[in-house]
Amino acid sequence: MPTDARIARIAEAEGKFEIVDQAIADPGPHEVLVEIVAVGVCHTDLAVRDGDLPTNFPVVLGHEGSGRIAKCGSHVTNLSEGDNVVLSYGSCGHCRPCQEGDPAYCNDFEALNFMNKRLGSEDPVFADGPNAAFFQQSSFATHAIAHERNVVKIEGDTDISLLGPLGCGIQTGAGAVLRTAAPPAGSNLLVCGVGSVGMSAIMAAKVAGCNTIIAIDMNEERLEMAKDLGATHSITVNEETDTAEKVREIVAEGVDFAIECSGNKHAARASWASLAKRGTLVVVGAPPSGTDYAFDANEQILSGRKIVGCVEGDSKVKQFIPELVRMYEQGRFPFDRLVKRYPFDKINEAVADLENGKVFKPILEMP
């Protein structure tokens, strides 16, 4: 029997979220129905809402859900009703990147995460719409259908309502450092843009044992918090700042790693120019589709610098998300300091606060 769900629907690009009630389908053979306890709001949700990243409207967004399994499909064997879970991104499991252990680079990533292609069934999640397989979860809702591949069981008694952002934004920043860059202890690293992704990268750099951790942003209050979370230095920038020069006042030869989280092409160029020879730029921040980043080819050749793209922190979610939970429980990864909670029906207020920089990571709590 279909389950009644309360959902936040968005009808068209640049629209407002509208709360409505609708019956949600039963899970397919390899899917689960999750009763959502809470869900993070991510800048990706806003970029999709605004038409800067693709989707097919009308749609239910939300891709940082956490909750409890209410029903399991007939072929699901490693999850059970009542399990506490975090939901993450979708991947097909069959293409070459998935088979080689890199599901974040799934050949079907756009269809499964942005274009609402339901992996576990060809039927719609809601018989009369809207589309609701965004990141294989569409978790701006009291109930969501997710595929067993993107459902992570959480053991222990850590507050499940806190953990949804580990499914995207937090794991992206942490993974960009711990998995993509993988800096050896004693390395020098900068993070450009200290929103929730950048703050997660700062905390991860401290965990990794980086010697010098430089936070770069336009917002001085955020930079103060970055220093509290592990940054050893901060640089306040504006359009006139020579960022690379400022970096070299701290580390004369430049940094070994730069994590670019802002999605701004000028910041990306500044991060590149701040690298030491053989340094690595990890590009994380997602600009509007069609944005070009320009780097001089001979400068790259002669410096041996590398540019690496990073999706979802290169995370293998069933291993990495529990690892982040353990680090949080040990007090080494206090991402809860980034969170502000809102009732689900205040979703438009939470979105406005995120856009205006009043909060790092809103979490919507279900009634």
- CATH number at 90 reads 3.90.180.10
Residue 102 lies in a domain: yes
Q: Are residues 35 and 152 in the same domain?
A: yes
Instruction: Verify that 160 and 179 share a domain, yes or no.
Output: no
Domain match, 92 and 200 both: no
Residue 158 Cα to chain centre, angstroms:
20
Residue 320 lies in a domain: no
Question: Are both 84 and 134 inside the same structural domain?
Answer: yes
The continuous run of DSSP H or E covering 188 comes out as strand 188-192
- Work out the pLDDT band at 318, boundaries 50, 70, 90: very high
Q: What is the pTM of this model?
A: 0.96
pLDDT at 212 over 70: yes
241-246 average pLDDT score:
95
pLDDT at 11 over 90: yes
- Residue 216 CA, chain-centre distance (Å), reads 19
Query: Which secondary-structure segment (H or E) carries 223?
Result: helix 220-229
pLDDT digit string (tens) for 167-183? 999 999 999 999 999 99
Is residue 245 predicted with pLDDT exceeding 80? Answer: yes
Residues 295 and 176 in one domain: yes
Domain assignment present for 196: yes
Say whether both 24 and 149 belong to one domain: yes
At a CB cut-off of 8 Å and minimum separation 6, what does 10 contact? Answer: 16, 17, 18, 49, 57, 58, 59, 60, 61, 130
Q: Are 133 and 118 in contact (CB under 8 A)?
A: yes
Q: What is the pLDDT of residue 327?
A: 98
Question: Order of strands, edge to edge, in the sheet holding 59-60?
Answer: 18-24, 3-10, 59-60
pLDDT tens digits for range 88-118: 999 999 999 999 999 999 999 999 999 999 9
User: Does pLDDT of 128 surpass 90?
Assistant: no
Are residues 345 and 217 both part of a single domain? no
| DSSP secondary structure, 273-312, as one string | HTEEEEEEEEE---PSTT------HHHHHHHT-EEEE-SG
Q: Give me the DSSP letters along 115-129.
A: S---SS-SS-SSTT-
179 lies in the same domain as 261: yes
Specify the pLDDT at position 226: 98
Q: Strands 31-40 and 65-72, how do they pair?
A: antiparallel
Q: What is the domain count for the chain?
A: 2
What residues make up the domain containing 178? 172-311
What is the model's pLDDT at position 239? 83
Same structural domain for residues 149 and 188? no
What phi and psi values does residue 67 have, to the nearest 5 degrees?
A: 175, -150
Residue 310 has pLDDT above 70, yes or no: yes
Whole-number percent of the chain with pLDDT over 70: 100
Concatenating the DSSP letter of every residue in 31-53 gives EEEEEEEEEE--HHHHHHHTTSS
Average pLDDT over residues 149-165: 97
Q: In the prediction, which pLDDT does 289 show?
A: 80
Residues 357 and 290 in one domain: no
* DSSP run (H or E) holding 266: helix 265-273
The percentage of the chain sitting over the pLDDT mark of 90, rounded to a whole number, equals 93
Band of pLDDT at residue 198, cut at 50, 70 and 90: very high
Residues 13, 162, single domain; the answer is yes
The number of helix segments (H) and strand segments (E) in the chain equals: 11, 16
Give 1's pLDDT tier (boundaries 50, 70, 90).
Answer: low
Same domain, 152 and 80: yes
